[in-house]
Structure 1
Amino acid sequence: MTKEFPNATRKAFSRRHFMAAAAGVIALPKLASAQTAVQELINAPGRGNWDDQFDAVTSRSQAAVTSNQPILGPNAPMNLMQAIAEYQRIVSNGGWPEVHPNVPLQFGVNDPSVRQLRQRLIVSGDLPQSAGMSDSYDSYVQGAVRHFQARHGLSETGFIDEYTLKALNVGARVRLAQLETNLSRVEDLGSDLGQRYVLVNIPAAYAEAVENNAVALRNVAIVGRPSRPTPLLDSKIFEIIFNPPWTVPRSIIQKDIMPLMQKDPNYLTDQKIRLYDNKGQEVDPMTIDWNAEKAPNLTFRQDPGPNSAMASTKINFHNKYAVYMHDTPSQSLFNDVVRFESSGCVRIENVRDLDVWLLKNTPGWDRQKIEETIHSGISTPVNLADQVPNHFVYITAWSAKDGIVQFRDDIYNLDGAPELALQTTSGIE
């Protein structure tokens, strides 16, 4: 299914030493009451630049959170260590308060539960201390909520929906443990990923094209559902196929196509999926018993075209899981917050931008040539002049050098805390 993360081996630069040093600089005395601890955190002179400043009237939450730093850049372990030190300080002083709304929390509301929300957001650095304490859900709170939502991969609505409330009420101690878990993962992955590489972070459901330690492209992705997870792997992209035919994996034939053919005998014909025997001869689907226990031992292949499962592009890299990256005709799915819908492969939004970036060193394959080839409808494989490293990783918490910490749901339940499991939907298998 997925490869295991090995136990982290401690590096020459001990993070324990870092934590001890950091604690000596910013640790605060433990306070008796949680409420007092919250106020102490809010008013602490040692907060430095942890508060992230932004225009509360015209929200720039996504711009403030988005960075051209890659998740696994050379400073990733240090950035996580700094985040861990800050969260240790928060935990040692009582954490943050839970938010229990009396009314729907949105712009214009005036309610005592907004005060809880303000305290919560100030402690985590989403709301500037200068916004103060009141019962008013004003533009400062709205902007802070959007900032919080952006950091957690949620829809930036600016109001407290069910999923934002769940994320708000994950305790600081749980978030600290999540950061520590992911520091071990980042350390184990190392920093030698290549001068140019593609990284897919599965829980974040996006892909980064990285060059010279900066993100050249960041593309929204759709990854495997929990019942059919996208595997962790390291490989090299060696080929792009434009207008690819799709050979249907056996698992999809058995789990999906067999039941569909039982309901609709014209399904394969409508989807332009042809059947071939081991001699390459086409087989009429009407001759198959679709109620049999096992799928027929035939090759199922969908013709190329804009409505095929892979649409314009298939990106190939060597791996034992038979997965790849590809385009999709279902572009509307990229607008979903929950993008864990595939059978293991990774669908890439705006994949032609990634095609151009991958082929930049391959003579004769500029964007115009790529577009002409796709428009032709002819299946065309192209070998990359220089193979590009490709990494599928599982990182649910990370931090950039500006101190902005990001968290994502633990979609495959690898972090070990039920509070971190998939929050943004209840029906994904």
Structure 2
Amino acid sequence: MTKTDKTAEAFTVDRRRFLRGAATVGLTAAVSSVASASFAQQALNDVLAAPRRGNWDDQFDARVPSSKTVATNQPVISAQTIADVQTAIGQYMDIVARGGWPEVPGQAKLQLGMSDPAVQALRRRLMVTGDLPQSAGISNAFDTYVDAAVKRFQARHGLPADGVMGQFTYAAMNVSAPARLNQLQINLQRLNELVATGGSEPRFVMVNIPAARIEAVENGSVVQRHTAVVGKIDRQTPILNSKIHEVILNPYWTAPKSIIQKDIIPLMRKDPQYLAKNKIRLYDQSGQEVAPESVDWNTDEAVKLMFRQDPGKINAMSSTKINFHNPYAVYMHDTPQKSYFNKLMRFDSSGCVRVQNIRDLDVWLLKNTPGWDRRAIESTIQSGVNTPIQLADPVPLHFVYISAWSTGGGVVQFRDDIYKLDGAAELALGSAT
């Protein structure tokens, strides 16, 4: 055997050994893999079978289910809304005929991730009004399906959509089905009257008092929405129809007699520097300025004087006053107290309407008035100079009281009957707080 033959034979033997070794390693790895998989499955089975594993079959699903949107660009005052409310009335008549919905017991702060027997009643309640799909089933689990359903319910009732069952959510949820049906029927009558007398204009502004919301409507669509603060229960914002004819930038504020008597005089008795601190000047009937120290604040003689606050950041109307003719001496305006817009119950004014993000509304109202684009408006406000502006095209304005409506998509909206005009005590939830 030559040297070359011996080398070839050695190579063949080494190759056979390598292949046998590789096969053995592969087989061992395969066996190990099967064993590991078997062990992992057994471990999972042990976890699933454990008596203290929790209610996993209640499906705390990480996916948030899709729900019909609550927001829409359809105006509250529209013929289509009337049709949608009529549809909603039919649905609620059917709900009432089938016995309504169950009461959700207790006042526990239920929220995502909790398990409580009360959630079963909550699920049934939400299913009746279509906020929770029937396929979600009945269990104690406050899962993502219930969370999404509670948020939808809250949004439909003008509540913060945080998914937490609190005092106001319980109260709104436990209003009876017949009361909600009656509320829809009453508001249908109001909508019919509104659409018959207004709301068909190319441009208009609507202030919905119980919702404390404003819609700027153009060509049949809502182009702006604003959060509002409206009148207190004992100083109500009136229902009216008018036209916005003037926007005043950096307005003076003249206190109405009701505020002078109920608020300013008592404050001056406590703090004689109140007027000076708030840059409020006094004027007599001839227009002459009167020194505050010359007034007897222990009487009501100050009511005969004019109380006028200078323009500025602390002015009660801040940057803007929006004027429209009406017999109630009310108007719309900005405010330095922005925190009011974050409150749940925004019924804090003396009848006038405070408007959040009012400068956006200013721009929209003045867009057809030459020389008044956003830059001009902002520049004027920055100057601090009192500037009245007459609108080239006065915009129709409607202060309305609509506490129940639908703008399609199966979404029915309800608000507290804050001024108790709907005829049922259980609908005036906020007025009792």
Same fold (TM over 0.5): yes
Cα distance between partner residues in 1 of 2:82 and 2:62: 31
Select 1:166's aligned residue among 171, 180, 186. 171
Query: 1:342 aligns to what?
Result: 349
Q: Does 1:379 align with 2:394?
A: no
Q: Distance in 2 between matches of 1:294 and 1:167?
A: 46
Distance in 2 separating the partners of 1:315 and 1:378: 16
Distance 2:306 2:365 in 1: 30
Aligned to 1:288: 295
1:245 aligns with 2:252: yes
Please report how far the alpha carbon of residue 74 of structure 1 lies from its aligned counterpart in structure 2 after TM superposition: 2.1
Matched ranges for 1:130-169 at <5 A: 130-169=135-174
Q: Deviation of residue 60 (structure 1)?
A: 7.8
* Partner residue, 1:369: 376
For 1:252-271, list aligned pairs within 5 A. 252-271=259-278
Letter in 2 for 1:406: Q
Q: Work out whether 1:99 is the aligned partner of 2:125.
A: no
User: Please, which of 404, 407, 412 is the counterpart of residue 414 of structure 2?
Assistant: 407
Give 1:132 deviation, angstroms.
1.4
1:296 Cα deviation (Å)? 3.7
1:179 aligns with 2:184: yes
Matched residue, 1:40: none
Q: For residues 71-124 of structure 1, give each alpha carbon's deviation from its aligned partner in whole angstroms, at most 9, with x where no partner exists.
A: 112212111100000000000001110011484322122122111000000101
Separation in structure 1 between the aligned mates of residue 340 and residue 223 of structure 2, nearest angstrom: 23
Distance 1:102 1:346, change over 3 A: closer
Ranges in structure 1 where 5+ consecutive residues have no aligned partner: 1-54
Given candidates 90, 112, 118, the residue that maps to 2:95 is 90
What value does the CA root-mean-square deviation take over the aligned residues? 1.6
2:338 paired residue among 318, 331, 343: 331
Other-structure match for 1:17: none
Task: Indicate which of 110, 132, 151 corresponds to 1:127.
Answer: 132
8 Å Cα contact 2:403/2:414 also seen in 1: yes
TM-score, structure 2 normalization: 0.83
Match of 2:285 in 1: 278
**Residues of 1 paired with 2:151 and 2:255: CA distance?**
41
Q: CA offsets per residue over residues 194-251 of structure 1, 9 Å max, x none?
A: 1100000000001100001100000000000010000000000000000000011011
Which residue identity lines up with residue 324 of structure 1 in the other structure? Y
Structure exhibiting the larger radius of gyration computed from Cα positions:
2
SS at 2:391 equivalent: strand
Q: Distance in 1 between matches of 2:277 and 2:81?
A: 48
TM-score between both structures, scaled by the size of structure 1 = 0.84
Q: How does 1:172-211 map to 2 (within 5 A)?
A: 172-191=177-196, 192-193=198-199, 194-211=201-218
Q: 2:74 aligns with which of 69, 77, 87?
A: 69
Distance 1:290 1:404 in 2: 54
- Which 4+ residue blocks in structure 1 deviate beyond 6 angstroms? none
Residue 154 and residue 57 in structure 1: after superposition, are their counterparts in 2 closer, same or farther (change >3 A)? Answer: farther
Among 119, 122, 130, the residue aligned to 1:117: 122
Q: For 1:297 and 1:114, locate their aligned partners in 2 and report how far apart those are by CA, in whole Å.
A: 60
Number of equivalences:
371
Q: 8 Å contact 1:206–1:219 — kept in the other structure?
A: yes
Tell me whether 108-117 or 76-85 shows the greater mean CA deviation. 108-117
- The Cα of 1:57 is off from its aligned counterpart by 4.2
Indicate the residue corresponding to 1:33 in structure 2.
none
**Cα pair distance change 1:102/1:417, threshold 3 Å:** closer
Secondary structure, in 3 states, of the residue corresponding to 2:398? strand
Q: Distance in 2 between matches of 1:215 and 1:368?
A: 24
Question: For residues 65 and 429 of structure 2, what CA distance do their matches in structure 1 show?
Answer: 27
**8 Å CA contact retained: 1:56, 1:142:** no
Letter in 1 for 2:149: A
Q: Secondary structure at the match of 1:158?
A: coil
Distance in 1 separating the partners of 2:302 and 2:107: 54
The 1:395–1:60 alpha-carbon spacing in structure 2 relative to 1, beyond 3 Å, is farther
CA gap 1:60/1:334 in 2 versus in 1, 3 angstroms: farther
Residue in structure 2 matching 1:303, options 296, 310, 327:
310
Decide whether aligned partners of structure 1 residues 103 and 287 sit closer, same or farther in structure 2, where only a CA change above 3 A counts. closer
Maintained 8 Å contact 1:258/1:295: yes
Correspondence for 2:361 among 354, 361, 364: 354
Evaluate the alpha carbon distance shift between residue 318 and residue 215 of structure 1 in structure 2; reply closer, same or farther with a 3 A threshold.
Answer: same
Deviation digits for residues 127-171 of structure 1, max 9, x if unmatched? 112211111100110111011001001121211101100111101
Q: 1:136 to 1:341 in 2, by over 3 A?
A: same
The answer as to whether partners of 1:103 and 1:111 remain within 8 angstroms in 2 is no
Distance 2:211 2:66 in 1: 20
Quick one: distance in 1 between partners of 2:276 and 2:179?
A: 51
Correspondence for 1:221 among 222, 225, 228: 228
Whole-angstrom CA distance in 1 between matches of 2:186 and 2:339: 33
Identity %: 59
